[in-house]
Amino acid sequence: MSDATALIANIPLDELIVCPQCDAAYRFKQPKSGERAVCQRCHKILIAPRHKAGKHIIAVSIAVVILIIAASVFPFLSISAAGRSNAVSILDAALSFTRGPLLVLALLTAGFIIFVPLLRMLLTLYVLVPVVFNHPPARHAMRAFRLSEALRPWSMAEIFALGCAVALVKVADLATVDFGPAFWMFGILVVLVIAQDGYLCKWSVWNSLEHPEKS
């Protein structure tokens, strides 16, 4: 065992932080608000705390929950051609695959664009609200945050938004397309979801769940 290795091995475990991407171990040092702790080997961002991030995230999450529910009920797009018209909501679009094996696809689509983003926001609120307002963490908060993190890649609202743009171009020469209220709500929603992701520092959440009194 070399000196450096022995040094790491002698640091108490809760003062270590290990890069999840390349396994490099570091002695933990709290970065200042707005600073980031980055792995020196693979450049993965390990900690990125922000001032009052918790309250911002809670506010954004509440807004997103309201927008998702509203955007999935109100008409999203409507088309008309030669006197015939059709208006659809996001829920209609997601559930448009309803025959045979395509039903599975309908459920997956609805999940990716409505239910997964909605569930992630609710889980985030459940985990963060007690911690941010200096209460002990909610029951099963860790399990909730774990689920929320596992669902992260499957939340595809922003991809759906770009899909809309492509679909509109395809329909444009077939019929006239009008935007419903839900279309604009969904636009705002995408921006908020991305902003919320940028604000959330995973490590800070885990740490505050482990040591609620320090946060």
Partner 1 sequence: MEFAGTSGKVITAREAGLVACTRCSRAWPIANKRCGRCGAKLVSRDFKSLQRVWALWVMGLICYFPANIYPMLVTRQLFNVDRSTIIGGAVDLAHHGAFGIAAIIIFASVVIPLGKFWAIAFLALHVREASGATAHRKLWLYEVVEYIGRWSMIDIFVVAILSALVQLKGLATITPGPAAFFFALSVIFTMLSAQAFDTRMIWNGQPKEDETPEHV
Q: Which of residues 170-199 bind partner 1 (CB under 8 A)?
A: 170-171, 173-175, 177
Task: Name which position in 57, 64, 68, 77 contacts partner 1 (CB under 8 A).
Answer: 77
Backbone phi, psi, residue 197, to 5°: -60, -40
C-beta closer to partner 1: residue 38 or 70: 38
C-beta closer to partner 1: residue 135 or 143: 143
Widest CA span of the chain, in angstroms? 81
Rounded to the nearest 10°, the torsion over CA 20, 200, 161, 114 is 90
C-beta closer to partner 1: residue 36 or 62: 36
Query: Terminus-to-terminus CA distance in the chain, angstroms?
Result: 37
Which residues on adjacent β-strands are paired with residue 45? Answer: 38
Quote the DSSP letter at residue 178: E
- Which positions from 87 through 126 interact with partner 1, judged by CB under 8 A? 88, 92-97, 101-102, 104-105, 108-109, 112-113
C-beta closer to partner 1: residue 29 or 214: 29
**According to the binding rule CB under 8 A, does residue 143 interact with partner 1?**
yes
Cα–Cα dist 167/3, whole Å: 61
CB 82 within 8 A of CB 58: no
Under DSSP, is residue 157 helix (H, G, I), strand (E, B) or coil?
helix
- Which positions from 149 through 168 interact with partner 1, judged by CB under 8 A? 149, 153, 156, 159-160, 162-164, 166-167
**According to the binding rule CB under 8 A, does residue 204 interact with partner 1?**
no
**According to the binding rule CB under 8 A, does residue 214 interact with partner 1?**
no
Binding residues for partner 1, rule CB under 8 A, total 80
